[in-house]
Structure formats: structure tokens, C-alpha cells
Amino acid sequence: MSDNKFIPYGCQWIDEDDINAVVDVLRSDYLTTGPKVLEFEKKFADYTGAKYAVSISNGTAALHAACFAAGIKEGDEVITTPITFAASANAVLYQGAKPVFADIDERTYNIDPKEIEKNITNKTKAIIPVHFTGQPCDMDEIHKIAQKYNLMVIEDAAHALGAEYKGKRIGNLSDMTIFSFHPVKHITTGEGGMITTNNKELYEKLLLFRTHGITRKRELFENADEGLWFYDQLCLGYNYRMTDIQCALGLSQLKKSDKFLSRRREIAEIYNKAFKELDGVIVPFQKEDRNSSWHLYVVKFDLNTLSMSRRKIYDFLISQDIGVNVHYIPVYYLSHYKKLGYKKGICKNAEKLYEEIITLPLYPKMNDEDVEYVINAVKKVVL
Ligand SMILES: *Cc1c(COP(=O)(O)O)cnc(C)c1O
């Protein structure tokens, strides 16, 4: 047993080669806008199979940039899931548009395409499906709806680096896909993010948005006769760049992503086997044609058959030094959303799920002893 050791729900894995990659950049000429940025983008595009990849300061900025590039503006509506991190919906608010929450599938906990279609109005401009825990959403059905109503699809793949949908890796299926490199995600750069796309026009818009809206590409200027010092600002962008320091770390981490991924899958398999046996515990359902990247391991408790409430289970596991969590509080339960007028009752399945779930620790550096320790603690709850 791992005594006196806190097991977090997620954690990075940094080795000496990652540290050396960062130190090399610190000794070089470029700390930002240098060669490591382009190299990371190229390698990341290759990994996901996308034509273009744009590095950006974090996953939230990636969502913001994608909403900008999709042309989301005041008066528009964008459909997403309430079972996500607030950033998926906040990005829509940044653009002055309205997030519309569509309910989830009871089994996968991903956004339900039928619920998306129910929520479409003449103001709907885009869909942001979130591959919750790393299991890809029903992308064929979502693309069909998008085509029928002429909507953009921005995949929030913050959980889904390396995940597969019908044998294809997430990252080149939709108009744009966003990733996060926060330390609990699959690979880390401290803070960082990426947007992948196959569309050149969207790619150009993302680049502009990331750098103040400013460009030195003379073919884009209104007046190409200006002196060579001249740059132009074509729209209101931000400084959302990643540094070369971060991109060097990202490159080093990306090399290990398959190793990280297979360890995540191994741990999920151990959990599945152990918890399938237990009454009162419902293991995550996986569709046949998906290969999850297992960012999170979310168990659902059948609280009718258990003597403990979810709060008691949570408190007990924390008391055992297990860093459990709840992913997610439905976004529209949060005060900022309440102030905007969202009320309980919008998404029944999501609200029910929220009462019944707990996220258990899952990260590649977790050893078998830690996994056993978590399993035994859960057994104490239900047996
Ligand atoms: C982590 C996360 C984000 C935001 O990414 P950051 O890099 O932390 O800004 C967005 N959506 C989901 C689903 C996430 O898990």
C-alpha cells in the first residue's frame, strides 16, 4: 500500500530529456516565435493527420480562436454539452454569442446528436462537441446535422489526444479541433494548446487571431505600396502565442504520447475488470467503433443500492489520500451562467449524471500499487 502518499486524479510525467529540451531553448537565440514553434506545429499536425496546426497559449484560447475563425458573433448560437469544463462554453461568450446546451447520451455521457438537432434555430452557427473523458462523440451523426443546417463543427478534444473514431485519429475530422497541454492532459507544456484544421482559410484566420490580428504578409495588405517596415492589423486579435520553451517541451512530450496512451489504457482496463464485479458501480461504457484516450476514469454509482451518498463516498476517498474529483458540474449550474438566465432543468440526463459520478485517479505515471490502492478503497465503499 502507498502509505502517506496523496494520489492525484491527474498528473504530468516529466523526465530528464524533457528538462534538457527546455534548457537547450533557454541557451538558444529564440525564446518565442522561433523554430521550435513551427517544429511542434508540424509534428503535431503529422500526429493528428491534419494539414495545419496552430499552437496557442492554452486550450481555452484555442476555443476562443476557433470561435473567431468560425465567424461566431453577437446574435449567434452555438450548441455544446453541459458536461464539460466551462471553457467550452465561455469561448462562445467571448465572441458575444450564446451557448446552447444540448443533453447527453445516458450511456456515453457525450452530447446526443438528437438533442443537438432539437436545439437548432435559425441563429445556430456551430456545434462544439466535447469528447468527454477521451471517448469520441458520434461524429458521423454530428457532421450530418452540420451539413444539413450549414454549421461549423469545432471539436473540443482537450481529453482526446490520440483517441480514435472508426479507426481515424481525432484531429482531422471536423472544421477545427482543439487540444490542451495543461499538466493533467495527455501531454503537457505547462500551459499550452493547439488547433488543427485542414482548411487554409481557417488556418490563416487562426494565425492572425493569435498575433494581435497583425500580419506581415504583404499580399494581405490594403495598400501593398508601403515601405518594408510596414505591417498591417486586419482584425482585433490577441497575443495568444506559445513560447519556444513550451514548444520544445511539447515536442519532447509528443514523442512519448503513445507510451503515455498505452499506460492510460492499461490502467483503465485494470479498473474496468475490478469494478465490473462490484454491485453499485457502473464502469464507463465504450462504443465498439471508438478507441478512447482515457483522459479521465469516471465511475457512476448506483446510489439506490449503496448505503453512502455521493458526498460521503467522495469525502471517504479524499480521507484515504485519493484525489478524486467530479467531472463535471453542468456548466449552466455555475453562477455566471445563472446570472445570464440559464436555469436548472435544461438537460435532464446531464443533471442526473452529475449527482452520481466520481472521477478516480488516472495518469500514466501511476503505478500498479496505486491502482490497487484505489480499487481497494472503492471496494470499502460498496462492499
Ligand atoms: C482542459 C480543458 C479545456 C481548457 O484547456 P486549458 O488549456 O486549461 O485552457 C477546455 N475544454 C476541456 C474539455 C478541457 O478539459
Q: What are the cell numbers at 262?
A: 498505452
User: pLDDT tier at 341 (50, 70, 90 boundaries)?
Assistant: very high
The Cα–Cα gap between 160 and 311 comes to: 28
157 and 34 in a common domain: yes
Domain span at residue 50 reads 16-255
Mean pLDDT of the chain: 96
pLDDT tens by residue, 247-259: 999 999 999 999 9
Q: Is 42 an active-site residue?
A: no
pLDDT tens by residue, 112-150: 999 999 999 999 999 999 999 999 999 999 999 999 999
User: What total of structural domains would you count in the chain?
Assistant: 2
Does residue 187 lie in a domain region?
yes
358 and 336 in a common domain: yes
234 and 160 in a common domain: yes
Query: Ligand 1 mean position to 86 CA, how many Å?
Result: 8
For residue 161, what is the domain's CATH number? 3.40.640.10
Beta carbon of 111 within 6 Å of any ligand 1 atom: no
SS (H, E, C) the chain: CCCCCCECCCCCCCCHHHHHHHHHHHCCCCCECCHHHHHHHHHHHHHHCCCEEEEECCHHHHHHHHHHHCCCCCCCEEEECCCCCCHHHHHHHHCCCEEEECCECCCCCCECHHHHHHCCCCCEEEEECECHHHCCCCHHHHHHHHHHHCCEEEEECCCCCCCEECCEECCCCCCEEEEECCCCCCCCCCCCEEEEECCHHHHHHHHHHHECCEECCHHHCCCCCCCCCCCEECCCCCECCCEHHHHHHHHHHHCCHHHHHHHHHHHHHHHHHHHHCCCCEECCCCCCCEECCCCCEEEEECCCCCCCCHHHHHHHHHHCCECCECCCCCHHHCHHHHHCCCCCCCCHHHHHHHHHEEEECCCCCCCHHHHHHHHHHHHHHHC
> What average pLDDT score do residues 91-103 get?
98
> What average pLDDT score do residues 1-21 get?
88
Judged by phi (left if over 0) then psi (alpha if -120 to 50, else beta), residue 199 lies in: beta
Does residue 11 lie in a domain region?
no
Does residue 9 lie in a domain region?
no
Residue that terminates a domain, selected from 255, 272, 305: 255
Residue that terminates a domain, selected from 231, 255, 279: 255
Query: Ligand 1 mean position to 266 CA, how many Å?
Result: 24
pLDDT tens by residue, 149-191: 999 999 999 999 999 999 999 999 999 999 999 999 999 999 9
Query: Ligand 1 mean position to 59 CA, how many Å?
Result: 5
The pLDDT value recorded for residue 4 is 62
User: pLDDT tier at 226 (50, 70, 90 boundaries)?
Assistant: confident
Beta carbon of 189 within 6 Å of any ligand 1 atom: no
Query: Which of 36, 125, 185, 205 is the catalytic position?
Result: 185
311 and 249 in a common domain: no
Residue that terminates a domain, selected from 237, 255, 273: 255
Does residue 181 lie in a domain region?
yes
25 and 100 in a common domain: yes
pLDDT tens by residue, 263-294: 999 999 999 999 999 999 999 999 999 999 99
Does residue 142 lie in a domain region?
yes
144 and 53 in a common domain: yes
Q: What is the pTM of this model?
A: 0.97
49 and 91 in a common domain: yes
For the chain, give the percent of residues with pLDDT over 90.
Answer: 93
130 and 218 in a common domain: yes
238 and 315 in a common domain: no
Beta carbon of 359 within 6 Å of any ligand 1 atom: no
- C-alpha pair distances (Å), 124 with each of 41, 128, 268, 331: 31, 11, 37, 19
The pLDDT value recorded for residue 337 is 98
Does residue 144 lie in a domain region?
yes
Does residue 1 lie in a domain region?
no
221 and 180 in a common domain: yes
The pLDDT value recorded for residue 218 is 85
The pLDDT value recorded for residue 211 is 98
298 and 233 in a common domain: no
The Cα–Cα gap between 206 and 69 comes to: 6
User: pLDDT tier at 307 (50, 70, 90 boundaries)?
Assistant: confident
Per-residue pLDDT for 2 more than 60?
A: no
> What average pLDDT score do residues 47-51 get?
98
Does residue 96 lie in a domain region?
yes
User: pLDDT tier at 355 (50, 70, 90 boundaries)?
Assistant: very high
262 and 245 in a common domain: no
